[in-house]
Structure 1
């Protein structure tokens, strides 16, 4: 039996039952009638996600050159920025760690925000980009690797280790990174990729 044009056919990720959802979702969430697993939950409005993603990018720009840590040892002062810290790890021979930290904590998160803006800004203004499927797939592939918290934890660990060596001061870049991480996390939680494929709902956002 064919699916009515007003319904969309999907499968529950938990039990596999085929469920028919309305094309124009009006509810905030839909659950599987068999196992009660969550099938769909509406994300935040596109306008809210756009503002948060843009804020995240604006915070990322200055934190790349602002000092994260300021260490003073017997009168010798040294400052470390985001990229200087990565370079020190690479220079000490930890090539794999430096590469992973660069990708997961520095490159992927802002790229994800750019992909979100590329998808949602046109949709918000009533236009569907031709490459939205490509950007969507890239975003999904990067989602599991966008771990800015890993880099944040490494900074905190460094602070603990360096604290006994001299006078340690937290730089403005560290606070900027915290705010960047918060806005990045909120953006990814607010965004539900499924909302892109419900045309009328997407355009109403």
Structure 2
């Protein structure tokens, strides 16, 4: 085994240490011992993530600022946004639930989108990214912690339960939230950690050479 540490990869199934080899887009690299897929290369991975992260950041604004639902009962109307939902739970004596909604439905998804935008933008435009590794580690640790889809499921259950006793109007925030969840799901599909880490390593080598 003659590769440098950056050129070596361990199989995640059998721990066989192998030298990284170049692969064509759409081609899988298979472990010779256990035949597990080690990594793969996709076309335009960085560009796709950049476009999706920008779309996600744009959708995040109306999803959190515009009403999700407007409820009218006995002549009284009330509109709810995600932050108001967390505040209502806090005022109702459920501070822990309110904190969980605030963290996993607002803070974590926003941080994921910002981190992914920083990673993809820096790699695509070859900017000097001093925090690339930290952003990549943070994004990977936070994957799966965003729970917007669970919040959306709760909203849909509320619509079903309240539709017979109140007049409900679906707001722009709910459509934006659904589109945001779709974008975040596509981010997870197109996110290729091995390829991105390889791009980050090449980026650092280029910076060191230029410096």
What is the TM-score of this pair, normalised by structure 2? 0.85
CA apart distance, 1:180: 0.7
Contact 2:72/2:167 (CA < 8 Å) preserved in 1?
Answer: yes
Contact 2:70/2:79 (CA < 8 Å) preserved in 1?
Answer: yes
Q: Which whole-Å CA distance do the structure 2 matches of 1:108 and 1:41 have between them?
A: 28
Question: 1:84-137, CA deviations, whole angstroms, 9 ceiling, x for partnerless residues?
Answer: 112112221222222112111111112111111111112112235121111111
Q: Which whole-Å CA distance do the structure 2 matches of 1:97 and 1:35 have between them?
A: 44
Moved more, 61-70 or 160-169: 160-169
Contact 1:73/1:166 (CA < 8 Å) preserved in 2?
Answer: yes
Aligned to 1:155: 155
Question: 1:22-70, CA deviations, whole angstroms, 9 ceiling, x for partnerless residues?
Answer: 2x44353212222222211224521121011100110111221211111
Aligned to 2:79: 79
Aligned to 1:135: 135
CA apart distance, 1:160: 2.2
Runs of 5+ consecutive residues of structure 1 not aligned to the other structure: none
Which of 24, 27, 30 aligns to 1:26? It is 24
Q: Which whole-Å CA distance do the structure 2 matches of 1:39 and 1:4 have between them?
A: 17
Higher relative contact order (CA 8 A, sep 6+): 1
With over 3 angstroms needed to count, the CA separation of the structure-2 counterparts of 1:51 and 1:199, relative to structure 1, is closer
Q: Which whole-Å CA distance do the structure 1 matches of 2:9 and 2:201 have between them?
A: 18
The 4+ residue runs of structure 1 with deviation greater than 4 A are 200-203
Contact 2:69/2:81 (CA < 8 Å) preserved in 1?
Answer: yes
**RMSD, matched Cα:** 2.2
Contact 1:196/1:202 (CA < 8 Å) preserved in 2?
Answer: no
Q: Which whole-Å CA distance do the structure 2 matches of 1:202 and 1:156 have between them?
A: 45
CA apart distance, 1:201: 9.7
Contact 2:109/2:146 (CA < 8 Å) preserved in 1?
Answer: yes
Question: 1:153-186, CA deviations, whole angstroms, 9 ceiling, x for partnerless residues?
Answer: 1211222232232111211111110001101110
Aligned to 1:53: 53
Match status 1:176 vs 2:176: yes
Runs of 5+ consecutive residues of structure 2 not aligned to the other structure: 204-211
CA apart distance, 1:202: 6.9
Moved more, 67-76 or 189-198: 189-198
Aligned to 1:62: 62
Aligned to 1:189: 189
The residue matched to 1:127 in structure 2 has which SS? coil
Contact 1:56/1:113 (CA < 8 Å) preserved in 2?
Answer: yes
